[in-house]
Chain A
């Protein structure tokens, strides 16, 4: 069974993907000893997934096609019995992308792995995630907008609803029986479940260094959300970068902030929590009717704790206040990061121009020249239109008179 098996973990977002990836990444050597290859050398396969789907990364650019080709080659060249690749971006794959995956790995016994958590938990986490990386609305209107288009056509549902996801990816799974892994908070149990899900011999994975992505407080998420929106309104549509490094307050805040991080994600309003719980029930019952390989407790996919009837109508203003010390630390750190990155990149050595426009890559600069040229041509044309040449000097008339 294990011979030439390729496990593709497709996420989706906020379902314990980073924990799973960190577990495999940290145990790469141990995995090799039992003939399992977590392909490549990086934490995940985001670049390759984006390259396959021709999707933009955070910086607004599409990774080169080479990344996907290199991954396919690495899988083909791997001598391990089981190969694993993992990227939550794959949850956005369209049927045409799936065809390419099937063709690329036709020589392998491909198995699809989906990690799943209750959407009632995932949706606020997802909002918090997006609010930290791009211009994004507030939580309540965003959740409302999800229910305005509550179908497979909505890209959020298409990638986050496990029933839609499994239906789509069944064509890739060699046994037409994708695996659904329901993560637990117990690190040891989680490692054993990942082993079962990926055909790894039991006891191989050591969960000691399992990564936990620190959650942000509500005020920190609000900070990130307003920052990203303001940055985009300032003329940086893809965020701010120094070279390939993204300058993001969320990273700084994770490194320093309140000693006690919140245990749960941003709380939803009660009415929206109940609506999402209903979606979870619907997803759960549809998954029951499908042919799936379950790892973990599937009952965990619908929360059972009581939603407070009064609910939380709006974030209280004190929830959106940041300690002054933390606010000044983050602002100063961001400024320092930029100056340090610029120094590390030795931009100053090249000459004054690199000091002036170091953050802009070559291609946008070419675009700057092109746009300026277009603007200048347009100006000239407008001037000509406003002050036309005298009729006797017009080239058309001159030609006519010459012929006559």
Chain B
């Protein structure tokens, strides 16, 4: 019997992972002091996604723009996991691991007993959320195109990882094969009862619910107008060949973020709906997942049948016009995200660049103007 236990929360994406990670990160001291569980993440970050990318030797999900993280990131996480009596690692990128990678992970963590936690939401919601994520990160296909590609497995090569990430029955089979069915816990989220996700996780990890809850996460979804406007802007930039210019710390991903935090959409603005014509296929996919769970006998926390529910289904009318104020907010957000990293007021109040950076900037400028000044 191995005395060290590692809990791997493998996501997948868009199943409330950010809420869980924020909660674990904020309560990491309570977890350690009261339950001897260490929450291991990439140092300053709230999850271990970069470490998992380093483990895979691959860049992030945005293959066009990311770079491969240093191997030391994974070594740091592994060493802590091997030495802590109990630990939790949460990274949705774990759900993207292939068969060989899961085998290799088992080998690297062989001195520990590993428990896998998988979180799930109704598939219709996950597809829409995943599409939003892609829209925020750069040029994206239309929602119909994306949803069809995901469900029929005919997305382009660059998106093949996204498609595989949505084949959840394959994911749980893969992890069950390597770590055993008894090591798997499935937590089913309920959008009408946000606490259910934390309740399920607390049961799986065996800690009181109070340890998991209490952290409010405000990460609102994009509206249909917002998503189409951002998608159109990236398409325009791509057409003009400007996207490589924006390849600095993926600043452009902040356009949507700035829009979500800087604008309050009116209640009447249409929400993004899962395309009606694909409900049969998504139903089949959900049924396949549910029967795989039954077949394998995986422990379930929450209502498994809710995964087949088809909420938020409808027709997204083509967008020809958007409110002028939305366009203005998107332009502001785009301009400040890409062109203007830090507002001057932030600098004045001590945020942003260090004082030594400001001094050396001034010195550089003085140096540059020196010849002109001398000529005068």
Interface contact A372-B332, CB-CB below 8 Å? no
Interface contact B325-A320, CB-CB below 8 Å? yes
Q: Does B70 contact A (CB under 8 A)?
A: no
Segment touching A, from B87-95, B103-111, B156-164, B341-349: B341-349
A356 to B346, CA, bound (A): 14
Q: Please, which residues of chain A bring their CB within 8 A of the CB of B246?
A: 335, 339
Interface contact A324-B322, CB-CB below 8 Å? yes
Segment touching B, from A10-18, A159-167, A360-368: A360-368
Q: Please, which residues of chain A bring their CB within 8 A of the CB of B317?
A: none
Q: Does A328 contact B (CB under 8 A)?
A: yes
State which residues 210-246 of B face A: CB under 8 Å.
228-229, 232-233, 235-237, 240, 242, 245-246
**24 A-B pairs (CB sep. < 8 Å):** A223-B324, A226-B325, A227-B332, A234-B336, A235-B346, A318-B321, A322-B321, A322-B323, A324-B232, A324-B322, A327-B232, A328-B229, A328-B235, A328-B236, A331-B330, A332-B233, A332-B236, A332-B242, A334-B331, A339-B338, A353-B357, A359-B339, A359-B340, A365-B347
Interface contact A350-B364, CB-CB below 8 Å? yes
Q: Does B208 contact A (CB under 8 A)?
A: no
Interface contact B348-A367, CB-CB below 8 Å? yes
A364 to B345, CA, bound (A): 10
Q: Does A219 contact B (CB under 8 A)?
A: yes
Q: Distance (Å) between the CB of A317 and the closest chain B CB?
A: 8
Q: Please, which residues of chain A bring their CB within 8 A of the CB of B346?
A: 235
Interface contact B349-A357, CB-CB below 8 Å? no
Interface contact B236-A329, CB-CB below 8 Å? yes
A323 to B328, CA, bound (A): 13
A372 to B347, CA, bound (A): 8
A328-B236, A336-B237 given; name 12 further pairs at CB < 8 Å: A223-B331, A227-B328, A227-B331, A240-B340, A249-B328, A331-B236, A332-B233, A339-B245, A356-B353, A357-B342, A364-B344, A371-B348
Q: Does A377 contact B (CB under 8 A)?
A: no
Residue of B323, B329, B336 touching A321 (CB-CB under 8 A): B323
State which residues 44-63 of B face A: CB under 8 Å.
none
The proximity string for A residues 120-152 relative to B, scoring 1 for CB distances below 8 Å and 0 otherwise, is 000000000000000000000000000000000
Looking at chain B's contact residues, the main secondary structure is: helix
Residue of A234, A324, A334 touching B334 (CB-CB under 8 A): A334
- Residue in chain A with minimal CB distance to B337: A335
Given the interface pairs A328-B229, A332-B233, A342-B339, the reply to whether A320 lies near B358 with Cβ below 8 Å is: no
Given the interface pairs A322-B322, A365-B361, the reply to whether A327 lies near B229 with Cβ below 8 Å is: yes
Q: Does B262 contact A (CB under 8 A)?
A: yes
Most buried by B among A226, A317, A342, A350: A226
Q: Does A188 contact B (CB under 8 A)?
A: no
A332 to B245, CA, bound (A): 12
Q: Does B126 contact A (CB under 8 A)?
A: no
Q: Does A280 contact B (CB under 8 A)?
A: no
Q: Does B280 contact A (CB under 8 A)?
A: no
Interface contact A351-B358, CB-CB below 8 Å? no
Q: Does B371 contact A (CB under 8 A)?
A: no
Residue of B334, B341, B358 touching A369 (CB-CB under 8 A): B358
State which residues 156-190 of B face A: CB under 8 Å.
none
Most buried by A among B325, B329, B340: B340
Q: Please, which residues of chain A bring their CB within 8 A of the CB of B357?
A: 353, 356-357
A318 to B320, CA, bound (A): 12
Q: Does B375 contact A (CB under 8 A)?
A: no
Q: Please, which residues of chain A bring their CB within 8 A of the CB of B236?
A: 328-329, 331-332
Size bracket of the B interface:
35 or more
The proximity string for B residues 271-291 relative to A, scoring 1 for CB distances below 8 Å and 0 otherwise, is 000000000000000000000
Q: Does A88 contact B (CB under 8 A)?
A: no
Shortest 8 CB-CB contacts between residues of A and residues of B: A235-B343, A338-B339, A328-B232, A235-B345, A327-B327, A226-B328, A321-B321, A332-B236
- Residue in chain B with minimal CB distance to A227: B328
Interface contact A324-B321, CB-CB below 8 Å? yes
Interface contact B364-A368, CB-CB below 8 Å? no
A332 to B243, CA, bound (A): 10
Interface contact B361-A242, CB-CB below 8 Å? no
Residue of B228, B328, B339, B345 touching A324 (CB-CB under 8 A): B228
A353 to B226, CA, bound (A): 33
Q: Does B365 contact A (CB under 8 A)?
A: yes
Q: Does B355 contact A (CB under 8 A)?
A: yes
Q: Please, which residues of chain A bring their CB within 8 A of the CB of B315?
A: none
Q: Please, which residues of chain B bring their CB within 8 A of the CB of A224?
A: 328
Given the interface pairs A247-B335, A328-B232, A338-B339, the reply to whether A230 lies near B328 with Cβ below 8 Å is: yes
Q: Does A105 contact B (CB under 8 A)?
A: no
Interface contact A328-B355, CB-CB below 8 Å? no
State which residues 188-246 of A face B: CB under 8 Å.
219-220, 222-227, 230-231, 234-236, 240, 242
Q: Please, which residues of chain B bring their CB within 8 A of the CB of A330?
A: 327, 331
Given the interface pairs A223-B327, A325-B232, A327-B322, the reply to whether A338 lies near B335 with Cβ below 8 Å is: yes
A357 to B360, CA, bound (A): 11
Q: Please, which residues of chain A bring their CB within 8 A of the CB of B342?
A: 356-357
- Residue in chain B with minimal CB distance to A320: B324
Residue of A230, A323, A339 touching B339 (CB-CB under 8 A): A339
Residue of A331, A355, A360 touching B331 (CB-CB under 8 A): A331
Q: Please, which residues of chain B bring their CB within 8 A of the CB of A327?
A: 229, 232, 322, 324, 326-327, 330
Interface contact A328-B328, CB-CB below 8 Å? no
